[in-house]
Structure 1
Amino acid sequence: MKNIAVVGYGVIGKRVADAIKVQDDMKLVGVCDIISDWRIQNAVRKDYDIYATTTEAEKQMKASGISVMGNMQDLLDKVELVVDCTPKMIAAKNVETYKTHNIKFILHGGEKHETTGHSFSAENNYNTALNINATRVVSCNTTSILRTLTALKRADLLDYARGTLLRRATDPWESHLGGIMNTMVPEKEIPSHQGPDAQSVDPDLDVITSAVKVPQTLSHMHYWNVKLKKETSKEEVLNALKTSSRIKFIHYDQGLVSNNTIKEMFLDMGRPWGDMYEVALWEDMLKVVGDELFYAYVVDNQAIVIPETIDAIRALTGIEMDGNKSIAKTNKSLGINQ
């Protein structure tokens, strides 16, 4: 059992904490944040030990009736690894603290690759993360790109890939604060950052992405045009994609015609928050024309990196040396593709 801390109890942090709790080879020692509102109060209801990032935060927590176990330094003294789920740029500032405590740490896709020197995607490069000190679990969109393209690459089908991303405007619970309405906002730069980000995990990927922000908050949607190394069949492509246990094949003709219907399905399946850890790829929409492949899928940005984070914990701490065994263990614990 490895002792693990979660710093930042927001959209990702609360999901990582819950995922750690259902593993039998790691222990959630506590969660740490600066907030004292309903979000951290839900962690109290789950009997998680609460730590305050700052002295001022500790005062506010105690004033709100929250029992505080100590500060962030106290929490770090009790663990072997910390998963930082704080907002973009804050995690990078925490790195020196983690290094001072000589503990391993995991950041997420909002930070730059250079912050850790290693970027992680479980089905792609688990072995390279074994027993290292730090990694960055790449972003939700990058994770989906790596899962799909790596599956094609394993089958020696992938030549190059070009993708268009329709990106949700903001998180659902923050849609009252901003976002966009009645418009679409293309990212100025091509490639958008996801293509180069995927290459931080696999430099050999020939991938270019473009992105458009759209006025909805449920998920991202990707459209891909892939040049294959040879003329092939749809069956061969599907067999390649099915080597990934974290791609869920859905069917347009079964009523799954939009991201809201897909979300409803996962809610009906009993997933917490209706979370979709898998890439939801339309099997009946996928088309092969000679040596060209066309497909589309949906990405749940709040959930897709959660299993990757659990696998990254195992790799960095050396709990499990075999990536396939870790993936299978994580999948079973979270009910992935079952």
Structure 2
Amino acid sequence: MYSQKVRVAVNGYGVIGKRIADAVVAQEDMELVGVVDISSDWRIKVAVQKGYPVFASDSEAADLMRIAGIPLAGTLDDLLKRVDVVADATPKKVASSNLEKYRAAGVKSIFQGGEKHSLTGHSFVAQANYETALGRDTTRVVSCNTTSIVRTLGALKSAGILKKARGVLVRRATDPWESDHSGVMNTVVPEKDIPSHQGPDAQTVIPDLDVITIAVKAAHTTSHLHSWSVQLTRSASRDEVLEAFRKAPRIAFLRMDEGMVALNSTLEMMSDLGRPRGDMWEVGLWEDNLTVQDDELFYNYQVYNQAIVVPETIDAIRALTGIEKDGMKSIARTDQALGLVHMFVENTKSL
């Protein structure tokens, strides 16, 4: 259908949107036509410095952005006339109100996990259900935590050894750039409902998952931590479980005996590796404390919420537009362009 590069717009140039924009630029089969925002602060000025065409969300925002000296290429309505697909990374409720505008413009759309499944009728994680998104007009990339659940439990399910899973999520208080005005301090807050929303959300991607999640919010901003207790379909060896995770995309191993002992040390390593913004797109799973006892499995992993959904969004662009019919080929292409790995450090030992 698309003989040339897919033309992409990113609506919302915040924590997720700016990362999606950079990821689109890194793909050989995509063109970033423009980014959209209402802001006139340093964030959108960085987009200007990068050479990204900037569009205002509406005429009112356009006036304020021009006063601030932002060179504008037009408004969102102008941009929608020039693109094939829009990745919407605007705040909750704002995003859902945009869907009809995209439909009226004949533009395919991708939303983020803050929106409800009912908005699009389809929720997306590339390794699990890429094929069901082919040719659709819209989909929703699930949240950071839900993405990690589908990646890891999906790996066990594909290996035929997953019976049921129970997970505890220790969530970060807020995004780092909002820590001056948002988030909890000096406390841990249990979420009111059990299961927390991440388990049911994972079932929108893999309906037959037997999963229950419990979540708490803690006073830190580095990233999320998951602790899982899994019942397997049978007794299995530790090596068999590790091999299931190795075969899955976008899971990378961490080792405490190499100094990766906590959330902060992992993110320090991302910076040392030269990752853009210190991002970790993979699920960072601790290999050396993964434990198997007969048919029970226990493990911990880290979720860097600012980046994990970015490669999924890139794959969703390919699925909706149909430029790549094979999900695993799209995953491989995305991961090579961005630099995803299975081992963060080349000499990492494997038990």
Point out where structure 2 has 5 or more consecutive residues left out of the alignment. 343-351
1:253 alignment counterpart: 257
Q: Which amino acid is 1:7 matched to?
A: N
Query: Per-residue deviation at 1:88?
Result: 1.2
1:55 Cα deviation from its structure 2 partner: 1.2
Give the alignment partner of residue 119 of structure 1, picking from 108, 116, 123. Answer: 123
**Deviation beyond 4 Å, 4+ runs, structure 1:** none
The corresponding residue for 1:5 is 9
- Rounded to whole Å, the distance in 1 between the matches of 2:114 and 2:286 is 28
Distance in 1 (CA, whole Å) between partners of 2:21 and 2:50 is 10
Superposition pairs of residues 194-233 of structure 1, within 5 angstroms: 194-233=198-237
Q: Which residue of 1 aligns with 2:55?
A: 51
User: Separation in 2 of the partners of 1:243 and 1:204?
Assistant: 21
CA displacement 1:182-220 (0-9 Å, x = unmatched):
100000100000000000001100000000000000100
Q: Which residue of 1 aligns with 2:345?
A: none
Which of 184, 193, 196 is matched with 1:192 structurally? 196
Contiguous gaps of at least 5 residues in structure 1: none
2:158 equivalent to 1:161: no
CA positional deviation for 1:245: 2.3
- How far 1:170 moved relative to its partner? 0.3
Indicate yes or no: 2:305 matched with 1:301: yes
2:272 paired residue number: 268
For residues 104 and 139 of structure 2, the distance between their equivalents in structure 1, rounded to whole angstroms, comes to 17
2:125 corresponds to which letter in structure 1? S
Deviations 1:266-303 (A, max 9, x none): 10010011000000000001000010000000000000
SS in 2 for 1:201: coil
Q: Distance in 2 between matches of 1:39 and 1:144?
A: 28
* Partner Cα separation in structure 1 for residue 327 and residue 249 of structure 2: 13
TM-score by length of 2: 0.96
CA RMSD of aligned residues (A): 0.6
Q: In structure 2, what is the equivalent of residue 93 of structure 1? A: 97
Residue 147 (str. 1) matches residue 175 (str. 2): no
Q: 1:16-67 CA distances to partner (integer Å, 9 max, x unpaired)?
A: 0000001010100000110010000000000000100121211111111111
Q: SS of the residue aligned with 1:82?
A: strand
Structure 1-normalised TM-score? 0.99
Distance 1:177 1:90 in 2: 21
User: Is 1:243 matched up with 2:247?
Assistant: yes
1:242-264 CA distance string (max 9 Å, x none): 11120000101110000000000
Q: Which amino acid aligns with 2:201?
A: D
In structure 1, the partner of 2:318 is 314
The one-letter amino acid paired with 1:209 is T
Q: Could you tell me how far apart the structure 2 residues matched to 1:319 and 1:178 are?
A: 41
Corresponding position of 2:346: none
Give the structure 2 partner of residue 109 of structure 1. Answer: 113
